[in-house]
Amino acid sequence: MATLPTYLYTQKDPDAGTGLFASEAIPPGVEILRVDRPLVSVLDTPHLKDTCSECCLWLPENGYGGDSQSKRLRACQGCMITKYCCKECQTKSWKRTHKYECKIFAKLYPHVLPNTVRIVMQLLLRRKAITLPDPEWRAFLDLQSHVEEFRSSQVTNEDGLTTWHTIELMSQAASSYSGSKEPVSFTQTLTARILINTHTLTTSTLDPLGLCLSPYSALLNHSCTPNTAIIFSGSTLTLRSLAAIPAKSELSISYVDTTNPSLTRQSELRSRYFFNCTCSACSAGITNGLPDPRPDHNFDAIKGRAVAIQAAASTLPPDREAALLKRALSFLSRYPPHRQPNPSIFHTAFLNAIGTQSWAIALSYALKAYFFIDPLHYQLSWHPVRVVRKWVLLRLVTQIIGLVSAGDGRIKWLENFGINWQIVAMGFFQELSDGARLSHGSNSPFAAEVKAFGEGAGMGRDKVERILLEEEWAKLRKVADDQRETLREEGNED
Protein backbone atom coordinates (compact mmCIF):
# COMPACT_ATOMS: atom_id res chain seq x y z
CA MET A 1 0.00 0.00 0.00
CA ALA A 2 1.37 3.38 -1.03
CA THR A 3 2.04 6.14 1.49
CA LEU A 4 3.67 9.53 1.19
CA PRO A 5 7.38 9.68 2.12
CA THR A 6 8.16 11.74 5.22
CA TYR A 7 9.88 14.45 3.13
CA LEU A 8 6.65 15.19 1.24
CA TYR A 9 3.62 16.99 2.62
CA THR A 10 0.32 18.37 1.36
CA GLN A 11 -0.83 21.95 1.49
CA LYS A 12 -4.09 23.55 0.39
CA ASP A 13 -4.31 26.51 -1.95
CA PRO A 14 -7.62 28.40 -2.42
CA ASP A 15 -7.15 28.44 -6.20
CA ALA A 16 -5.17 25.30 -7.07
CA GLY A 17 -6.58 22.98 -4.40
CA THR A 18 -4.38 20.61 -2.43
CA GLY A 19 -0.81 20.32 -3.71
CA LEU A 20 2.24 18.23 -2.97
CA PHE A 21 5.31 19.91 -1.44
CA ALA A 22 8.88 18.95 -0.54
CA SER A 23 9.93 19.56 3.06
CA GLU A 24 13.61 19.30 2.12
CA ALA A 25 15.71 20.17 -0.92
CA ILE A 26 15.62 17.61 -3.74
CA PRO A 27 18.41 17.37 -6.35
CA PRO A 28 17.61 16.86 -10.05
CA GLY A 29 17.32 13.38 -11.53
CA VAL A 30 16.26 11.47 -8.41
CA GLU A 31 13.24 9.41 -7.41
CA ILE A 32 10.83 11.35 -5.19
CA LEU A 33 7.84 9.03 -4.92
CA ARG A 34 7.27 5.36 -5.76
CA VAL A 35 3.86 3.69 -6.00
CA ASP A 36 4.38 -0.02 -6.65
CA ARG A 37 0.76 -0.45 -7.68
CA PRO A 38 -1.67 2.45 -8.23
CA LEU A 39 -5.06 2.20 -6.53
CA VAL A 40 -6.72 1.36 -9.84
CA SER A 41 -5.57 0.91 -13.44
CA VAL A 42 -6.94 -0.39 -16.74
CA LEU A 43 -5.54 -0.91 -20.22
CA ASP A 44 -6.91 0.81 -23.29
CA THR A 45 -8.98 -1.62 -25.35
CA PRO A 46 -6.37 -2.15 -28.13
CA HIS A 47 -3.68 -2.93 -25.52
CA LEU A 48 -5.72 -5.69 -23.90
CA LYS A 49 -4.40 -7.81 -26.79
CA ASP A 50 -0.68 -7.02 -26.44
CA THR A 51 -0.11 -6.10 -22.78
CA CYS A 52 -0.16 -8.08 -19.55
CA SER A 53 -3.12 -6.85 -17.49
CA GLU A 54 -1.16 -7.28 -14.25
CA CYS A 55 2.48 -6.21 -14.74
CA CYS A 56 1.80 -4.11 -17.88
CA LEU A 57 4.50 -5.85 -19.93
CA TRP A 58 3.96 -4.61 -23.48
CA LEU A 59 4.75 -6.94 -26.37
CA PRO A 60 4.28 -4.86 -29.54
CA GLU A 61 4.50 -6.55 -32.91
CA ASN A 62 7.12 -4.12 -34.26
CA GLY A 63 9.47 -4.70 -31.34
CA TYR A 64 10.21 -0.99 -30.78
CA GLY A 65 8.52 -0.74 -27.40
CA GLY A 66 11.64 -1.53 -25.44
CA ASP A 67 10.21 -4.55 -23.63
CA SER A 68 11.33 -8.17 -23.84
CA GLN A 69 9.99 -10.16 -26.75
CA SER A 70 10.82 -13.54 -25.17
CA LYS A 71 7.43 -13.90 -23.46
CA ARG A 72 4.01 -14.45 -24.97
CA LEU A 73 0.64 -13.48 -23.53
CA ARG A 74 -2.09 -15.96 -22.66
CA ALA A 75 -5.74 -14.99 -22.35
CA CYS A 76 -7.81 -15.59 -19.24
CA GLN A 77 -9.89 -18.64 -20.13
CA GLY A 78 -12.82 -17.31 -18.16
CA CYS A 79 -13.41 -14.10 -20.14
CA MET A 80 -10.89 -14.21 -23.03
CA ILE A 81 -10.41 -10.44 -22.55
CA THR A 82 -7.51 -9.94 -20.15
CA LYS A 83 -4.12 -11.45 -20.98
CA TYR A 84 -1.11 -12.30 -18.85
CA CYS A 85 2.59 -12.93 -19.38
CA CYS A 86 2.82 -15.68 -16.72
CA LYS A 87 0.77 -17.65 -14.19
CA GLU A 88 2.10 -15.51 -11.33
CA CYS A 89 0.69 -12.34 -12.90
CA GLN A 90 -2.64 -14.03 -13.60
CA THR A 91 -2.89 -15.18 -9.98
CA LYS A 92 -2.07 -11.71 -8.64
CA SER A 93 -4.60 -10.08 -10.94
CA TRP A 94 -7.29 -12.59 -9.97
CA LYS A 95 -6.82 -12.03 -6.24
CA ARG A 96 -6.69 -8.25 -6.50
CA THR A 97 -9.37 -7.38 -9.07
CA HIS A 98 -10.11 -9.80 -11.87
CA LYS A 99 -12.24 -12.28 -9.90
CA TYR A 100 -14.81 -9.52 -9.50
CA GLU A 101 -14.97 -8.55 -13.18
CA CYS A 102 -14.23 -11.77 -15.08
CA LYS A 103 -17.84 -12.99 -15.41
CA ILE A 104 -18.95 -9.51 -16.51
CA PHE A 105 -16.30 -9.44 -19.25
CA ALA A 106 -17.23 -12.99 -20.31
CA LYS A 107 -20.88 -12.05 -20.86
CA LEU A 108 -19.83 -9.10 -23.04
CA TYR A 109 -17.16 -10.97 -25.06
CA PRO A 110 -16.04 -10.18 -27.74
CA HIS A 111 -17.15 -6.63 -26.91
CA VAL A 112 -15.17 -4.62 -24.35
CA LEU A 113 -16.36 -1.76 -22.17
CA PRO A 114 -14.59 1.62 -22.60
CA ASN A 115 -11.59 2.07 -20.30
CA THR A 116 -13.23 4.78 -18.16
CA VAL A 117 -16.27 2.57 -17.55
CA ARG A 118 -13.97 -0.32 -16.63
CA ILE A 119 -11.96 1.76 -14.16
CA VAL A 120 -15.12 3.05 -12.43
CA MET A 121 -16.63 -0.43 -12.42
CA GLN A 122 -13.43 -1.84 -10.89
CA LEU A 123 -13.65 0.65 -8.03
CA LEU A 124 -17.34 -0.12 -7.45
CA LEU A 125 -16.73 -3.87 -7.46
CA ARG A 126 -13.81 -3.63 -5.05
CA ARG A 127 -15.73 -1.25 -2.80
CA LYS A 128 -18.63 -3.74 -2.69
CA ALA A 129 -16.16 -6.53 -1.83
CA ILE A 130 -14.48 -4.31 0.81
CA THR A 131 -11.00 -4.83 -0.68
CA LEU A 132 -9.97 -1.22 -1.29
CA PRO A 133 -7.11 -0.03 0.98
CA ASP A 134 -8.86 2.34 3.36
CA PRO A 135 -6.20 5.13 3.53
CA GLU A 136 -5.91 5.28 -0.27
CA TRP A 137 -9.69 5.17 -0.74
CA ARG A 138 -10.17 8.05 1.69
CA ALA A 139 -7.37 9.98 -0.04
CA PHE A 140 -9.11 9.34 -3.35
CA LEU A 141 -12.43 10.68 -2.04
CA ASP A 142 -10.64 13.87 -0.96
CA LEU A 143 -9.58 14.63 -4.55
CA GLN A 144 -11.41 17.26 -6.53
CA SER A 145 -14.23 16.11 -8.82
CA HIS A 146 -15.38 19.42 -10.41
CA VAL A 147 -18.89 18.00 -10.70
CA GLU A 148 -20.55 21.39 -10.98
CA GLU A 149 -18.12 22.53 -13.66
CA PHE A 150 -18.78 19.32 -15.60
CA ARG A 151 -22.52 19.90 -15.32
CA SER A 152 -22.28 23.39 -16.77
CA SER A 153 -19.67 22.61 -19.42
CA GLN A 154 -20.85 22.87 -23.01
CA VAL A 155 -17.87 20.97 -24.42
CA THR A 156 -19.10 18.16 -26.67
CA ASN A 157 -17.48 15.01 -28.05
CA GLU A 158 -17.51 13.73 -31.63
CA ASP A 159 -21.00 12.31 -31.06
CA GLY A 160 -22.33 15.71 -29.99
CA LEU A 161 -22.72 14.71 -26.33
CA THR A 162 -21.73 17.11 -23.57
CA THR A 163 -19.13 15.91 -21.08
CA TRP A 164 -21.77 15.67 -18.35
CA HIS A 165 -24.07 13.57 -20.53
CA THR A 166 -21.11 11.26 -21.19
CA ILE A 167 -20.43 11.04 -17.44
CA GLU A 168 -24.08 10.09 -16.86
CA LEU A 169 -23.91 7.31 -19.46
CA MET A 170 -20.59 5.95 -18.18
CA SER A 171 -21.81 6.03 -14.57
CA GLN A 172 -25.01 4.23 -15.50
CA ALA A 173 -23.06 1.50 -17.33
CA ALA A 174 -20.56 1.03 -14.49
CA SER A 175 -23.35 0.82 -11.90
CA SER A 176 -25.41 -1.59 -13.97
CA TYR A 177 -22.61 -4.03 -14.79
CA SER A 178 -21.13 -3.97 -11.27
CA GLY A 179 -24.48 -4.37 -9.55
CA SER A 180 -23.57 -1.48 -7.27
CA LYS A 181 -26.18 -0.12 -4.88
CA GLU A 182 -24.39 3.20 -4.50
CA PRO A 183 -26.52 6.33 -5.19
CA VAL A 184 -26.43 7.66 -8.75
CA SER A 185 -24.88 10.92 -7.55
CA PHE A 186 -22.04 9.01 -5.85
CA THR A 187 -21.16 7.10 -9.03
CA GLN A 188 -21.34 10.25 -11.14
CA THR A 189 -19.00 12.05 -8.75
CA LEU A 190 -16.73 9.00 -8.79
CA THR A 191 -16.60 9.11 -12.61
CA ALA A 192 -15.91 12.85 -12.64
CA ARG A 193 -13.10 12.37 -10.11
CA ILE A 194 -11.60 9.67 -12.34
CA LEU A 195 -11.69 11.96 -15.41
CA ILE A 196 -9.93 14.76 -13.53
CA ASN A 197 -7.28 12.79 -11.63
CA THR A 198 -6.13 9.82 -13.71
CA HIS A 199 -2.67 9.62 -15.29
CA THR A 200 -1.96 8.06 -18.64
CA LEU A 201 -0.42 4.67 -17.93
CA THR A 202 2.62 4.27 -20.19
CA THR A 203 5.52 1.98 -20.85
CA SER A 204 8.98 3.05 -19.67
CA THR A 205 9.41 4.32 -23.24
CA LEU A 206 6.36 6.62 -22.83
CA ASP A 207 4.03 4.66 -25.12
CA PRO A 208 0.45 5.08 -23.79
CA LEU A 209 -1.17 1.89 -22.53
CA GLY A 210 -4.19 2.94 -20.49
CA LEU A 211 -5.31 4.81 -17.38
CA CYS A 212 -4.26 4.63 -13.76
CA LEU A 213 -4.94 6.52 -10.59
CA SER A 214 -2.88 6.95 -7.45
CA PRO A 215 -4.48 9.38 -4.98
CA TYR A 216 -1.01 10.58 -3.92
CA SER A 217 0.42 11.39 -7.35
CA ALA A 218 -2.98 12.88 -8.24
CA LEU A 219 -2.18 15.65 -5.74
CA LEU A 220 0.44 17.01 -8.15
CA ASN A 221 -0.67 20.33 -9.58
CA HIS A 222 0.07 21.55 -13.08
CA SER A 223 2.83 23.79 -14.39
CA CYS A 224 3.85 24.45 -17.99
CA THR A 225 7.43 24.34 -16.64
CA PRO A 226 7.12 21.26 -14.40
CA ASN A 227 9.86 20.32 -11.97
CA THR A 228 8.98 16.60 -11.93
CA ALA A 229 7.90 13.88 -14.34
CA ILE A 230 6.04 10.59 -13.89
CA ILE A 231 7.78 7.48 -15.21
CA PHE A 232 6.34 3.96 -15.26
CA SER A 233 8.23 0.69 -14.97
CA GLY A 234 5.58 -1.89 -15.66
CA SER A 235 2.81 -1.25 -13.15
CA THR A 236 5.07 0.80 -10.85
CA LEU A 237 4.67 4.58 -10.90
CA THR A 238 7.66 6.72 -9.97
CA LEU A 239 7.95 10.48 -9.69
CA ARG A 240 11.38 11.89 -10.60
CA SER A 241 12.77 15.40 -10.31
CA LEU A 242 13.55 17.37 -13.48
CA ALA A 243 15.24 20.22 -11.62
CA ALA A 244 16.73 21.10 -8.26
CA ILE A 245 13.72 21.64 -5.99
CA PRO A 246 14.26 23.88 -2.95
CA ALA A 247 12.79 22.96 0.42
CA LYS A 248 9.18 24.11 0.95
CA SER A 249 8.60 24.18 -2.83
CA GLU A 250 5.62 22.69 -4.62
CA LEU A 251 6.09 19.71 -6.91
CA SER A 252 4.45 19.95 -10.33
CA ILE A 253 3.84 17.99 -13.50
CA SER A 254 2.35 19.08 -16.80
CA TYR A 255 -1.23 18.07 -17.56
CA VAL A 256 -0.96 19.01 -21.24
CA ASP A 257 1.56 18.97 -24.09
CA THR A 258 4.06 21.72 -23.28
CA THR A 259 5.22 21.91 -26.91
CA ASN A 260 2.00 23.77 -27.77
CA PRO A 261 1.93 27.58 -27.52
CA SER A 262 0.60 29.16 -24.33
CA LEU A 263 -2.84 30.06 -25.73
CA THR A 264 -3.40 26.45 -26.81
CA ARG A 265 -2.28 25.14 -23.42
CA GLN A 266 -4.52 27.58 -21.56
CA SER A 267 -7.54 26.67 -23.67
CA GLU A 268 -7.02 22.95 -23.08
CA LEU A 269 -6.53 23.41 -19.33
CA ARG A 270 -9.73 25.47 -19.05
CA SER A 271 -11.83 22.99 -21.02
CA ARG A 272 -10.43 19.78 -19.46
CA TYR A 273 -9.44 20.81 -15.92
CA PHE A 274 -11.44 23.99 -15.28
CA PHE A 275 -8.70 26.40 -14.27
CA ASN A 276 -6.78 29.30 -15.76
CA CYS A 277 -3.07 28.63 -15.84
CA THR A 278 -1.07 31.53 -14.38
CA CYS A 279 2.34 29.84 -14.35
CA SER A 280 5.34 31.95 -15.30
CA ALA A 281 5.46 30.49 -18.84
CA CYS A 282 1.82 31.31 -19.60
CA SER A 283 2.07 34.75 -18.03
CA ALA A 284 5.08 35.57 -20.21
CA GLY A 285 3.76 33.85 -23.36
CA ILE A 286 6.58 31.29 -23.40
CA THR A 287 6.70 27.73 -24.70
CA ASN A 288 9.50 25.62 -23.21
CA GLY A 289 11.74 28.64 -22.71
CA LEU A 290 11.03 30.17 -26.14
CA PRO A 291 8.76 33.17 -26.79
CA ASP A 292 5.49 32.23 -28.47
CA PRO A 293 5.46 33.20 -32.16
CA ARG A 294 3.62 36.38 -33.06
CA PRO A 295 0.14 36.00 -34.60
CA ASP A 296 0.50 35.00 -38.24
CA HIS A 297 -2.63 34.61 -40.38
CA ASN A 298 -0.64 32.93 -43.16
CA PHE A 299 0.68 30.35 -40.71
CA ASP A 300 -2.80 29.72 -39.33
CA ALA A 301 -4.09 28.96 -42.83
CA ILE A 302 -1.15 26.69 -43.66
CA LYS A 303 -1.38 24.99 -40.25
CA GLY A 304 -5.08 24.29 -40.80
CA ARG A 305 -4.33 22.76 -44.18
CA ALA A 306 -1.48 20.62 -42.84
CA VAL A 307 -3.51 19.35 -39.87
CA ALA A 308 -6.41 18.48 -42.17
CA ILE A 309 -4.04 16.52 -44.41
CA GLN A 310 -2.60 14.72 -41.37
CA ALA A 311 -6.11 13.72 -40.27
CA ALA A 312 -6.99 12.49 -43.75
CA ALA A 313 -3.72 10.55 -43.97
CA SER A 314 -4.57 8.52 -40.86
CA THR A 315 -7.44 6.83 -42.73
CA LEU A 316 -5.32 5.66 -45.66
CA PRO A 317 -3.03 2.69 -46.35
CA PRO A 318 0.58 3.23 -45.14
CA ASP A 319 2.07 4.14 -48.54
CA ARG A 320 -0.57 6.78 -49.26
CA GLU A 321 -0.37 8.01 -45.66
CA ALA A 322 3.39 8.54 -46.06
CA ALA A 323 2.91 10.64 -49.21
CA LEU A 324 0.26 12.83 -47.57
CA LEU A 325 2.32 13.36 -44.42
CA LYS A 326 5.29 14.44 -46.51
CA ARG A 327 2.99 16.87 -48.31
CA ALA A 328 1.73 18.30 -45.02
CA LEU A 329 5.32 18.82 -43.88
CA SER A 330 6.20 20.54 -47.16
CA PHE A 331 3.54 23.17 -46.47
CA LEU A 332 5.10 23.88 -43.07
CA SER A 333 8.73 23.75 -44.22
CA ARG A 334 9.22 27.52 -44.15
CA TYR A 335 8.46 27.52 -40.41
CA PRO A 336 10.80 26.23 -37.65
CA PRO A 337 10.64 22.44 -37.16
CA HIS A 338 9.97 22.85 -33.44
CA ARG A 339 6.80 24.90 -34.04
CA GLN A 340 3.64 22.84 -33.78
CA PRO A 341 2.17 21.06 -35.70
CA ASN A 342 5.58 20.25 -37.25
CA PRO A 343 6.76 18.03 -34.35
CA SER A 344 3.49 16.12 -34.28
CA ILE A 345 3.50 15.44 -38.02
CA PHE A 346 7.21 14.53 -38.01
CA HIS A 347 6.52 11.96 -35.27
CA THR A 348 3.55 10.51 -37.16
CA ALA A 349 5.68 10.29 -40.32
CA PHE A 350 8.43 8.56 -38.34
CA LEU A 351 5.99 5.94 -37.02
CA ASN A 352 4.68 5.41 -40.54
CA ALA A 353 8.23 4.85 -41.82
CA ILE A 354 8.96 2.36 -39.02
CA GLY A 355 5.73 0.51 -39.78
CA THR A 356 6.62 0.22 -43.47
CA GLN A 357 10.27 -0.61 -42.72
CA SER A 358 11.44 2.47 -44.59
CA TRP A 359 14.53 2.64 -42.40
CA ALA A 360 16.40 5.47 -44.13
CA ILE A 361 13.34 7.71 -44.14
CA ALA A 362 12.64 6.83 -40.48
CA LEU A 363 16.20 7.82 -39.61
CA SER A 364 15.90 11.19 -41.34
CA TYR A 365 12.72 12.00 -39.38
CA ALA A 366 14.25 10.82 -36.09
CA LEU A 367 17.35 12.94 -36.68
CA LYS A 368 15.21 16.01 -37.32
CA ALA A 369 13.75 15.58 -33.86
CA TYR A 370 17.19 14.88 -32.37
CA PHE A 371 18.85 18.01 -33.83
CA PHE A 372 16.09 20.57 -34.43
CA ILE A 373 13.13 19.83 -32.15
CA ASP A 374 13.94 18.03 -28.91
CA PRO A 375 16.84 20.26 -27.72
CA LEU A 376 14.50 23.27 -27.93
CA HIS A 377 11.42 21.71 -26.35
CA TYR A 378 13.26 19.59 -23.76
CA GLN A 379 16.38 21.47 -22.84
CA LEU A 380 17.67 18.87 -20.37
CA SER A 381 19.82 16.37 -22.27
CA TRP A 382 18.40 13.69 -19.96
CA HIS A 383 14.75 14.71 -20.17
CA PRO A 384 12.72 11.46 -20.36
CA VAL A 385 11.37 12.30 -23.82
CA ARG A 386 14.86 12.87 -25.23
CA VAL A 387 16.23 9.75 -23.56
CA VAL A 388 13.45 7.57 -24.92
CA ARG A 389 13.90 8.95 -28.42
CA LYS A 390 17.64 8.27 -28.25
CA TRP A 391 16.77 4.69 -27.31
CA VAL A 392 14.64 4.38 -30.46
CA LEU A 393 17.43 6.00 -32.49
CA LEU A 394 19.99 3.55 -31.14
CA ARG A 395 17.83 0.58 -32.08
CA LEU A 396 17.17 2.07 -35.49
CA VAL A 397 20.89 2.57 -36.10
CA THR A 398 21.62 -1.05 -35.14
CA GLN A 399 18.92 -2.10 -37.60
CA ILE A 400 20.66 -0.06 -40.29
CA ILE A 401 24.04 -1.60 -39.41
CA GLY A 402 22.55 -4.99 -40.17
CA LEU A 403 21.13 -3.75 -43.47
CA VAL A 404 24.50 -2.25 -44.45
CA SER A 405 26.18 -5.60 -43.81
CA ALA A 406 23.55 -7.35 -45.92
CA GLY A 407 23.84 -4.84 -48.78
CA ASP A 408 20.14 -3.98 -48.47
CA GLY A 409 19.02 -1.47 -51.11
CA ARG A 410 16.52 0.24 -48.80
CA ILE A 411 19.29 2.28 -47.19
CA LYS A 412 21.23 3.07 -50.39
CA TRP A 413 20.47 6.81 -50.05
CA LEU A 414 22.44 6.87 -46.78
CA GLU A 415 25.60 5.62 -48.48
CA ASN A 416 26.11 9.13 -49.89
CA PHE A 417 27.02 10.46 -46.44
CA GLY A 418 29.94 8.12 -45.62
CA ILE A 419 28.73 7.47 -42.08
CA ASN A 420 30.64 5.20 -39.71
CA TRP A 421 27.64 3.49 -38.20
CA GLN A 422 29.58 1.71 -35.47
CA ILE A 423 30.82 5.01 -34.05
CA VAL A 424 27.30 6.48 -34.33
CA ALA A 425 25.81 3.54 -32.43
CA MET A 426 28.43 3.80 -29.68
CA GLY A 427 27.85 7.56 -29.44
CA PHE A 428 24.10 7.15 -28.98
CA PHE A 429 24.70 4.38 -26.45
CA GLN A 430 26.99 6.64 -24.41
CA GLU A 431 24.42 9.46 -24.40
CA LEU A 432 21.63 7.06 -23.59
CA SER A 433 23.47 5.37 -20.72
CA ASP A 434 24.29 8.72 -19.12
CA GLY A 435 20.74 10.01 -19.58
CA ALA A 436 18.86 6.93 -18.36
CA ARG A 437 20.59 7.16 -14.99
CA LEU A 438 18.81 10.48 -14.35
CA SER A 439 15.61 10.11 -16.36
CA HIS A 440 14.62 6.61 -15.20
CA GLY A 441 17.15 5.74 -12.47
CA SER A 442 20.32 3.66 -12.47
CA ASN A 443 18.50 0.62 -11.07
CA SER A 444 15.44 0.88 -13.29
CA PRO A 445 14.43 -1.93 -15.68
CA PHE A 446 14.81 0.57 -18.54
CA ALA A 447 18.44 1.35 -17.63
CA ALA A 448 19.12 -2.38 -17.29
CA GLU A 449 17.64 -3.08 -20.72
CA VAL A 450 19.69 -0.30 -22.31
CA LYS A 451 22.87 -1.65 -20.70
CA ALA A 452 22.17 -5.22 -21.78
CA PHE A 453 21.36 -4.13 -25.33
CA GLY A 454 24.54 -2.08 -25.66
CA GLU A 455 26.81 -4.68 -24.14
CA GLY A 456 25.23 -7.41 -26.26
CA ALA A 457 26.07 -5.37 -29.36
CA GLY A 458 29.63 -4.74 -28.16
CA MET A 459 29.09 -1.05 -27.38
CA GLY A 460 29.86 -1.03 -23.68
CA ARG A 461 33.60 -1.66 -23.79
CA ASP A 462 35.19 1.65 -24.77
CA LYS A 463 34.30 5.32 -24.93
CA VAL A 464 34.48 6.96 -28.35
CA GLU A 465 36.74 10.00 -28.61
CA ARG A 466 34.84 13.27 -28.83
CA ILE A 467 36.49 14.36 -32.09
CA LEU A 468 35.34 11.17 -33.80
CA LEU A 469 31.79 11.70 -32.56
CA GLU A 470 31.77 15.29 -33.82
CA GLU A 471 32.78 14.12 -37.30
CA GLU A 472 29.95 11.58 -37.46
CA TRP A 473 27.41 13.95 -35.90
CA ALA A 474 28.16 16.46 -38.69
CA LYS A 475 27.26 13.76 -41.20
CA LEU A 476 24.06 12.89 -39.33
CA ARG A 477 23.06 16.55 -39.36
CA LYS A 478 23.45 16.50 -43.15
CA VAL A 479 21.07 13.54 -43.31
CA ALA A 480 18.49 15.56 -41.37
CA ASP A 481 19.14 18.68 -43.46
CA ASP A 482 18.94 16.81 -46.78
CA GLN A 483 15.29 15.86 -46.51
CA ARG A 484 14.55 19.14 -44.77
CA GLU A 485 15.70 20.97 -47.91
CA THR A 486 13.67 18.59 -50.07
CA LEU A 487 10.55 19.42 -48.08
CA ARG A 488 11.27 23.13 -48.38
CA GLU A 489 11.62 22.87 -52.15
CA GLU A 490 8.37 20.91 -52.43
CA GLY A 491 6.62 23.46 -50.20
CA ASN A 492 7.73 26.31 -52.48
CA GLU A 493 6.19 24.57 -55.47
CA ASP A 494 2.66 24.83 -54.07
DSSP summary character for residue 410: G
Q: With bands split at pLDDT 50, 70 and 90, how would you rate the model's confidence at 65?
A: very low
Q: What is the pLDDT of residue 66?
A: 46
* Residues 177 and 106 sit within 8 Å (Cβ to Cβ): no
Residue 154 has pLDDT above 90, yes or no: no
CA 377 to chain centre: 15
Average pLDDT of the segment spanning 293-304:
91
Residue-wise pLDDT tens digits, 4-50: 899 999 999 877 789 999 999 999 999 999 999 999 999 999 999 99
Q: Cα separation of 51 and 71, whole Å?
A: 11
Percent of the chain with pLDDT over 70: 95
How, if at all, do strands 290-291 and 286-287 pair?
Answer: antiparallel
For the residues of 428-470, what is the DSSP string, one character each? Answer: HHHHHHHHHIIIIITTSHHHHHHHHHHHHTT-SS-PPPHHHHH
Mean pLDDT score of the chain, rounded to an integer? 92
Q: With bands split at pLDDT 50, 70 and 90, how would you rate the model's confidence at 60?
A: confident
Which of the given ranges, 157-161, 344-348, 485-489, has the highest pLDDT on average?
344-348
Residue type, 80: M
CA 293 to chain centre: 26
β-strand partners of 12: 18
Residue 491 has pLDDT above 90, yes or no: no
Residue 2 has pLDDT above 80, yes or no: no
SS3 192: helix
Least trusted range by pLDDT, from 64-68, 200-204, 296-300, 398-402: 64-68
Q: What is the pLDDT of residue 343?
A: 96
How, if at all, do strands 286-287 and 228-233 pair?
Answer: unpaired
Q: What is the pLDDT of residue 383?
A: 98
Residue 70 has pLDDT above 70, yes or no: no
Q: With bands split at pLDDT 50, 70 and 90, how would you rate the model's confidence at 69?
A: very low
Q: What is the pLDDT of residue 96?
A: 95
